[in-house]
Amino acid sequence: MKLAKILAAGAILTVIAGTASAYDADWKRGRIYYRSVCTSCHAASPVGSINPSTKTKAEWTAYLQADKHAKGKDTVSGYVSKAYRAKIKSGNKAAEKFADTPDAELAADIKAFLIKGAKDGDSPATCS
């Protein structure tokens, strides 16, 4: 009986660990979010659209890791968060569509899109 419990606990842990590490970032979803949420604000700001191809893969990785947006005024993760999506979803289709996506998944998706579209990425991308 004891052994069965230990085995069951082990199986559950394996499932949890498996789901956490098995998440396969979806760059297409990242692209939708980047274009609809990030770019729509940039395009309306003095900064203008920021193409993924303006940075290298290493630069995007470092940028996202630092999580300092707009010269440190706020954070990138803030604009990816469920709370932010909830705030803008009435006027933003992508935010509405991904309203319940876990923050970590959406952040991984956006990163995958930016890395793919980086200056030295698989397919350097513009915003549109």
Query: Which structure tokens are listed for 39?
Result: 């770019």
Closer by beta carbon to ligand HEC, 11 or else 73: 73
The CA distance from 108 to 128, in Å, is 20
Which residue from 32, 37, 108, 115 is in contact with ligand HEC, where contact means CB under 6 A? 37
| Interface with ligand HEC, residue 70, by CB under 6 A | yes
Contacting range for ligand HEC; rule: CB under 6 A; set: 5-13, 37-45, 93-101, 120-128: 37-45
Residue 70: which of 33, 94, 45 has the closest Cα? 45
Residue type, 60: W
- The two three-digit tokens of residue 52, written as one number: 């993924």
Residue with the two structure tokens 């289709």: 93
What residues between 10 and 29 interact with ligand HEC by CB under 6 A? none
Note whether 80 binds ligand HEC by CB under 6 A.
yes
Q: Which amino acid is located at 24 in the chain?
A: D
Residue from 49, 50, 51, 97 in contact with ligand HEC (CB under 6 A): 50
By CB under 6 A, residue 45 contacts ligand HEC: yes
CA dihedral 112, 35, 53, 43 (to 10 degrees): -150
79 in contact with ligand HEC (CB under 6 A):
yes
Give the interface with ligand HEC as residue ranges (CB under 6 A).
Answer: 37-38, 41-42, 45, 47, 50, 63, 69-71, 76, 79-80, 110
